[in-house]
Amino acid sequence: MIEISHLYKEYQGDLHKIQALEDINLTIDQGDIFGIIGMSGAGKSTLIRCMNLLEKPTSGSMRVDGQEMTTLTDAQLRDARKQIGMIFQGFNLLMQRTVLDNVAFPLELSGTPKEEIRRRCLEMLELVGLQDKAGAYPSQLSGGQKQRVAIARALVTHPKVLLCDEATSALDSLTTRSILELLKNLNQLLGVTMVVITHEISVVRNLCNKTAVIDSSHIVEQGLTSEILSNPSVDITRDLVAFEGVVRPC
């Protein structure tokens, strides 16, 4: 579903260039919940933002659903993005719109008829367990509820891929668990491929079937989550696993 090869991204810093991604090669299959874990500054956000071209890679190939993303025109890119949902650490909801109208937003963009928008949004809100909040505004919701709205908004267009950038990092551990549960169910139910960026090993442990570890701009190991966690081959993964035991005794 997502094929990345020889992907590089460099930022022009004030004094010198910053290599945020170096020679990234990854294959994410249809239906995967693919975790990408690493320390702060490793390049996780840069990598996931390259997947929908919020960041333009410096070189290399990024194919999503068979389509090369790096060579699309603006209009083609907009169409391609409609097949890729995204959720964020800060939720990024429209604060002046109701929950229902937030979920409606991506459908409005593609000119879906009003009746259909309403039907699909209510359906989606039911899936995330917020049917009774349709008329509320984001400021009236808890963090977990806001992320549920964001998930509904990202999936209402039935995208093939859902990108999650630290989607649970602003939430407490109980709420995190319920959001992870929801994402897992939606992956089963809708068959949507998920890419999950996190710095918490418990997130990949509880959610992802496959995992890649990223460290200072490089992918240092990847494979089935179970194998990586039980038999880490690099120090950074061992550190992350050990760190989990210290901070989150669960």
Nearest to 26 by CA among 214, 225, 216, 235: 214
Cβ proximity to ligand ATP, 41 vs 191, nearer residue? 41
Is 45 near ligand ATP (CB under 6 A)?
yes
Nearest to 165 by CA among 87, 81, 50, 55: 87
CB of 81 to other proteins, least distance (A): 4
Nearest to 84 by CA among 189, 193, 173, 232: 193
Bridge partners, residue 163, by sequence: 86, 195
CB of 163 to ligand ATP, least distance (A): 13
Q: Which of 4, 26, 35, 46 binds ligand ATP (CB under 6 A)?
A: 46
Query: Shortest Cβ contact with Mg ion: which residue?
Result: 45
**Strand-by-strand arrangement of the 33-37 sheet:** 84-88, 161-165, 193-198, 33-37, 210-215, 218-224
Cβ proximity to other proteins, 2 vs 236, nearer residue? 2
The CA dihedral of 127, 128, 134, 138, to the nearest 10 degrees, is -160
Is 82 near other proteins (CB under 8 A)?
yes
Question: Could you tell me if 26 and 219 are in contact, meaning their C-beta atoms sit under 8 angstroms apart?
Answer: yes
Q: Which of 17, 59, 71, 95 binds other proteins (CB under 8 A)?
A: 95
Cβ proximity to other proteins, 157 vs 217, nearer residue? 157
Which of other proteins, ligand ATP, Mg ion, none binds 241 (CB below 5-8 Å, type-dependent)? none
CB of 12 to Mg ion, least distance (A): 19
Q: What binding mask, one character per residue, do residues 196-215 give for ligand ATP by CB under 6 A, x or -?
A: ---x----------------
Query: What are the DSSP calls for 88-123, one per residue?
Result: ETT----TTS-HHHHHHHHHHHTT--HHHHHHHHHH
Is 168 near Mg ion (CB under 5 A)?
no
Is 45 near Mg ion (CB under 5 A)?
yes
CB of 155 to ligand ATP, least distance (A): 23
Q: Which of the ranges 13-21, 101-109, 186-194, 236-244 carries the binding residues for ligand ATP, by CB under 6 A?
A: 13-21
Nearest to 138 by CA among 127, 128, 148, 129: 148
Nearest to 59 by CA among 18, 5, 12: 5
State which of positions 146-205 bind other proteins (CB under 8 A).
Answer: 153, 157, 163
Which of other proteins, Mg ion, ligand ATP, none binds 40 (CB below 5-8 Å, type-dependent)? ligand ATP
Instruction: Count CB-CB contacts under 10 A for residue 230.
Output: 9
CB of 20 to ligand ATP, least distance (A): 4
